[in-house]
Structure 1
Amino acid sequence: MAKNKELLNSGKAPEPVGLYPHARRVGNLLFLSGVGPRERGTKNIPGVELDAQGNILNYDIEAQCHSVFRNVRYILEDAGADWDDLVDVTVFLTNMQDDFQTYNRIYAEYFKDNQPCRTTVEVNKLPTPIAIELKCIATIITP
């Protein structure tokens, strides 16, 4: 069992949809739980239009990308890290064929200076009606 582990939650990122923290620090590593584009304090998902049953009618992957990157930044900052501390990013997309090109362009805007390792996979569905989720690892200075 690793020593010096700490659960961290951001006051700006959307609330987790289950029993897990936004991040967990173990030594000099910060592991972020899956982060989506939802907005804190609401069920609003930027760029998503739902029907009465909660099914996705249409969505704007660009709006979701900007929102998910913003949420990752909130968690990093509240944990005492920053964007340049990211070392690994796993990206889950629900529609690789239609969304990869837009996501890849926006990703390049955010990561032009810091280039963490990256894996992008397509998944059938995510737990909420979103089209993108990130799982990240960052380095952090332990006090």
Structure 2
Amino acid sequence: MSDVIRASAAPKPVGTYPHARRVGDLLFLSGIGPRDPATNAIPGNEYFADGRVRSYDITTQTQAVFANVRAVLEASGACWEDLVDVTVYLTDMARDFKAYNAVWAEYFPDIDTAPCRTTLGITALPTPIAIELKCTAVVRADNRQD
């Protein structure tokens, strides 16, 4: 049996899937990007007049995606420190890895408490974003909202 999580403080999913699903003490988050929950705008993007992305700021997008992950965690009865595994998708690994990795180090300064991480370079994401996270967390018994 599993519980479906919908987080009002996170951007709406771009498809038919929940923000997260809790199975026992494990919490599986769907892919989460940096879109603004209130406006659906993508922080750090600048556009040409025809709507194509002119440039983006990976630092701004990384901070926004971390805020969105935190919102889903909190709606699930978990917290930032409950993350155990994170898969990161970057659309331009060569350009963005260093800046993204610097933001990661700010949010996870201690290797002994940081989640495991895999970072992949991919060609595209379903919206014009440069980063997306797929996360797994453990919801501790004292934090569960049963």
TM-based fold match above 0.5: yes
Q: Residue 14 of structure 2: which of 13, 17, 21 is its match?
A: 17
Which residue is 1:123 aligned to? 122
Q: Residue 85 of structure 2: which of 73, 83, 88 is its match?
A: 88
- Report the residue type matching 1:138 in the other structure: A
- Would you identify which runs of 4 or more consecutive aligned residues in structure 1 move more than 4 Å? none
Measure, in 1, the Cα distance between the counterparts of 2:68 and 2:124: 20
Deviations 1:70-110 (A, max 9, x none): 00000001110000000000000000001000000100111
Measure, in 1, the Cα distance between the counterparts of 2:21 and 2:123: 27
Unaligned runs of 5+ in 1: none
Displacement, 1:53?
3.9
Which residue is 2:4 aligned to? 7
**Equivalenced residues, count:** 140
Measure, in 2, the Cα distance between the counterparts of 1:24 and 1:50: 34
State the SS of the aligned residue for 2:51: coil
- The equivalences for 1:68-107 within 5 A come to 68-107=65-104
Deviations 1:31-56 (A, max 9, x none): 00000000113231110012344321
TM-score by length of 2: 0.92
CA RMSD of aligned residues (A): 1.1
Unaligned runs of 5+ in 2: none
